[in-house]
Amino acid sequence: MPTRSRSRAVLAVALGAALLSGCATPTPASEPEGLRVVTTTGILADLARNVAGDRAEVLSLVPEGGDPHSYEPSLRDIRDIVYADVAFSNYLMLEEQNLIKALDTNLPDGVPNISLAEDAVKYAAEIIPLVEDVSLDTIWLGLRVRGDGAALSATRTSDVLVSATDMEGPGELHAYLTGSFGDVDRYIDSTDGFDEADGYRDDTVVLPPDAHTHLSWAFSEPGIYTLDLRAKLQTSSDQRPVEVASGEVTFAVGVDPYSVPGKSDATILDAGHSDVTLDMDTQSFTVLLDHEHGSGHVHQEFFDLDDVVVEVPNKALHEIPGDPAYRFLGRAGNPVYQLPQAVLGKHVHGEIDPHLWQNVRNAMSYVEIMRDTLIDVDPEGAATYTANAAVYLEELADLDAEVAATIAEVPKANRTLVTTHDAYGYLAQAYDLTISGFVTPNPAIEPSLAERKRLTETLRNLEVPAVFLEPNLSSRSSTLVEVAADQGIAVCDIYGDAFSEDVPTYIDMMRFNAQSIRDCLGGAKEN
């Protein structure tokens, strides 16, 4: 086993930083015995346990059933990181950025800090771009940082701060994000003004370089709105942010977008997926627009921010829901114009789809990386790690064949997957499925008759026997379940980022997903 000579100052600094955030200090504990492996998610922990066996304690920072896109590290997590001998993250923007920062900041010098999705390419993993549904009846408008900022000395733990500094319009403007469990993060709120004195702290979105996030946008009154934006780069926590760019985005809310003064020749963004984009290379704001062709191919086009108008049409008018979490939008039942976020849940991501494990062969690449890393850290255990990995890789090879055979039982014409989360591109590519689209249950919109009608038309147009819903979203999706039932469409479970008590391992998860797809899309069920 490796020996430890860690300074307690490391833990003291970590806990001290946590105390500054208002947390209480945990009871001091002695340094743990044996090899310790920390992973960011339960899926990675399960893979690691199958390689490590009894030679290591493997801990997942994100708890069972937790959402890696939004999980914030606790003091216990910091302690686990400080005492770790190995750390495995997925990365490619899968995890909440603060969790990645906790790893990079508190992991002792010399401890392997492995980003599996990035390293897996060297182990023959296949990666695919993250493609989101661009067949939309209103625009999805997100926020993106393009480029890694290396020329500006940025790293993966650097912060890009995009702040709203001013707004003009006939009403109030809000930008926010709804998490998988219904929690709401408010990023821009014009009702209390924009405070330069505190650096626009309450009206700022923080992203890592080369990342993207979905947002919902809400407007209280029809008319023309202009929102001033400023971007700064903070390369590390001990450095002052440096301004990178500024710009202005224009919205036409419930009015003719061609009527905006001085914008008669502007490009009108009224459908599909677009992002207000900070380009780190040119140090300027642009708008990125995804175009989809009949073949399903998507290409991207860029526009100067000053040359576009974002249309928020009258069909985007909805009632404010009764949930107290949305009280900031106004009184329940009052109308509000809203562009909903692309998918429910907090999803800050990059250009590459991070959900590699949905292809079993990619998970096998993860296992090989874990085996080699553990051997490097603990050479005395090489025989154990090699033997454990060999057994598990054989099980995964059998699983890969089983998943393929199970899904192949579905008639080819029925192999269309409709989900509420953009996490299944690898599953589709590996096992001959087609991603038809996403049905987004939006808890920020009270399910009015008009909303139910829209959802009904969406499901009818998709012409599928079932839609697939992650169990942790079921409590937020009652309207989807009801509308699907009215259309004779099944709502079936599928697992993406996390396990449950009934599905506690990676093999269980992939087997469950394959069987759920087969049973719900018309394959032959087992007796």
Provide the percentage of residues in the chain whose pLDDT is more than 90. Answer: 55
Q: What is the pLDDT of residues 409-432, one digit of tens each?
A: 999 888 988 887 778 989 999 999
Burial class (CB in 10 A: 0-12, 13-18, 19+), 429: middle
Alpha carbon distance 62, 42 (integer Å): 7
Q: What is the DSSP letter of 259?
A: G
Model confidence pTM above 0.95: no
Q: What is the pLDDT of residues 476-512, one digit of tens each?
A: 667 778 888 888 999 999 999 899 999 999 999 999 9
* Residue 29 in this model has a pLDDT that exceeds 70: no
Question: Domains of the chain, with CATH numbers?
Answer: 8-127+356-394 (3.40.50.1980), 140-342 (no CATH), 402-520 (3.40.50.1980)
∠164-170-176 over CA atoms, to 5°?
Answer: 40
Contact assessment for residue 235 and residue 211, using Cβ atoms and an 8 Å cutoff: no
Q: What is the pLDDT of residues 394-414, one digit of tens each?
A: 999 999 999 999 999 999 888
Give the residue with greater pLDDT, 60 vs 525.
60
For the ranges 178-182, 234-238, 365-369, 471-475, the lowest mean pLDDT is seen at 178-182
Q: What is the pLDDT of residues 268-305, one digit of tens each?
A: 998 778 899 999 999 999 999 875 544 444 567 899 99
The mean pLDDT value for 328-349 works out to 74
pLDDT for res 526 = 53
Helix (H, G, I), strand (E, B) or coil at 501: coil
Grade residue 332 by pLDDT with cuts at 50, 70 and 90: confident
Q: Which of 463, 454, 453, 420 is nearest to 439 (CA)?
A: 420
Provide the percentage of residues in the chain whose pLDDT is more than 70. Answer: 82
pLDDT for res 135 = 40
* Residue 183 φ/ψ, nearest 5 degrees: -75, 150
Alpha carbon distance 206, 478 (integer Å): 32
pLDDT for res 122 = 86
Q: Which of 402, 398, 469, 403 is nearest to 433 (CA)?
A: 403
Q: What is the pLDDT of residues 432-452, one digit of tens each?
A: 998 876 665 554 455 556 667
Grade residue 9 by pLDDT with cuts at 50, 70 and 90: very low
* Residue 24 in this model has a pLDDT that exceeds 70: no
pLDDT for res 451 = 60
Contact assessment for residue 232 and residue 359, using Cβ atoms and an 8 Å cutoff: no
pLDDT for res 294 = 43
* Residue 240 in this model has a pLDDT that exceeds 90: yes
pLDDT for res 133 = 46
Q: What is the DSSP letter of 472?
A: G
Q: Which of 71, 102, 73, 79 is nearest to 27 (CA)?
A: 79
Alpha carbon distance 156, 143 (integer Å): 18
Residues 6 or more apart whose Cβ sits within 8 Å of residue 469: 419, 420, 477, 480, 481, 491, 492, 493, 494
Alpha carbon distance 21, 376 (integer Å): 36
pLDDT for res 78 = 96
* Residue 456 in this model has a pLDDT that exceeds 90: no
Tell me the DSSP string of 149-195: -GGGT--TT-EEEEEEEEEESSS-EEEEEE-TTS-EEEEEEGGG---
Contact assessment for residue 138 and residue 313, using Cβ atoms and an 8 Å cutoff: yes
Highest mean pLDDT among 21-30, 110-119, 463-472: 110-119
Strands (E) across 8-101 are located at 35-39, 56-60, 86-89
